[in-house]
Amino acid sequence: MSIFGYLCEVDNPKDLLDLSKKVYHAGYIKFDTYTPFPVHGIDKAMGIPLSRVPYLSLIGCLIGLTGAIALQVWTNGFDYPIALSGKPFVALPAFVPVTFELTILFTAFFTVFGMFAINKLPQWNQPIFNNESIKKATCSGFFLAISSDDKNFDIEKTKLFLERSGGKNIEAINH
């Protein structure tokens, strides 16, 4: 294939929703839309499943929780027990604040870096950046792109389909 796919523009969020629905119902899977802000309802229109980020957050949370308890119990209770402040060596109530903070810390790490991993960020070099017009997507433009990797992609038919469905300024994403 000589091109990466097609990129087209629409005027406003509503048109983008309509176009996305048409593209999705036409059986395309590998397509994406580009918007300056998250458009409400776009996930349903494009058939995007629920985000997996919360599962990663939960994993981070559990690692933080158990890790913090293990760290404190092992260091203060077993490896170097110090008789201080009239508390037992393993003083669980006194371990609550640090456990809480580390749980939050690990949840945050897993949430953010997990989100990066799922989104494949950072990815500074992407085929879509070959097109000048995509720069508008971070300001006021609403775009839709169909990848040439999609099994329904056809260099002529897809272009025609986008034209008929209301896509404007259709461009090829070149190498």
Partner 1 sequence: MNTINEQIHRVPLVLGDKSFKDVTDAIARPAEAKAPKWWVVGVLFSASVACILFAMIGYLIWDGVGVWGLNNPVGWGFAIVNFVFWVGIGHAGTLISAILFLFKQKWRTSINRFAEAMTIFAVICAGIFPGIHVGRIWLAYYLFPIPNSMAMWPNFKSALLWDVFAVSTYFTVSLLFWYVGLIPDLATFRDRAKTRVKRLAYGFFALGWSGSSRQWINYEKAYLILAAIATPLVLSVHSIVSFDFATSNLPGWHTTIFPPYFVAGAIFSGFAMVLTLLIIARKIFNLEDLVTIRHLENMNKFILATGTMVGYAYAMEFFMAWYSGNQYEAFAFVNRAFGPYAWAYWIMISCNVISPQFFWFRSLRTSIPVMFIISIFVNIGMWFERFVITVTSLHRDFLPSSWDYYTPTWVDIMTFVGSFGLFFSLFLLFLKFLPIISIAEVKGVMAIADPHHYESHTKKGGQL
Partner 2 sequence: MTSKQLFPKWFNYLPIIVLVGLTLILGITIHLFWFWFSPKHLEVGYQPKQPIPFSHELHVNQVGMDCRYCHSNVEVSGHSNIPTTETCMNCHKTIKVDSPAIKTLTEYHNQKKPIDWVKVHMLPDYVYFNHAAHVNSGVSCVQCHGNVNKMTTVYQAKPLSMGWCLECHREPEKYLWPKEQVTNLDFRPDNQLKLGLQLKETYNVNPGEACSVCHR
Kindly list the residues in this chain that would bind partner 2 in the complex (CB under 8 A): 80-83, 122-125, 129-133, 135, 171, 174
Minimum distance between the CB of residue 108 and partner 1, rounded to whole angstroms? 5
CA dist 18 and 149 (Å) reads: 23
Q: Is 32 in the site for partner 1 (CB under 8 A)?
A: yes
> In the complex, what is the shortest distance from the CB of residue 25 to partner 2, in angstroms, rounded to a whole number?
31
CA distance 59 to 67: 12
What type of residue is 152? Answer: N
Residue 53, contacted partner among partner 1, partner 2, none, CB below 5-8 A by kind: partner 1
What one-character DSSP code corresponds to residue 77? Answer: I
N-term to C-term CA, the chain: 10
C-alpha closest to that of 143 among 41, 26, 32: 32
Written as one letter, the residue type at 81 is P
With CB under 5 to 8 Å by kind, the binding choice for 85 among partner 1, partner 2, none is partner 1
Identify which range of 1-9, 21-29, 113-121, 155-163 contacts partner 1 by CB under 8 A: 113-121
Binding status of residue 129 toward partner 1 by CB under 8 A: yes
Q: Could you say which of partner 2, partner 1, none residue 147 binds, taking C-beta under 5 to 8 angstroms by partner kind?
A: none
CA 89 to chain centre: 44
DSSP codes joined into one string, 22-46: HHHHTT--SEEEE-SSPPTTHHHHH
By CB under 8 A, name the binding residues for partner 1: 12-15, 17, 32-43, 46, 48, 51-54, 57, 71-72, 75-76, 79-80, 82, 84-85, 87, 91, 94-95, 97-98, 100-102, 104-105, 107-109, 111-112, 114-116, 118-119, 121-126, 128-129, 134-140, 143
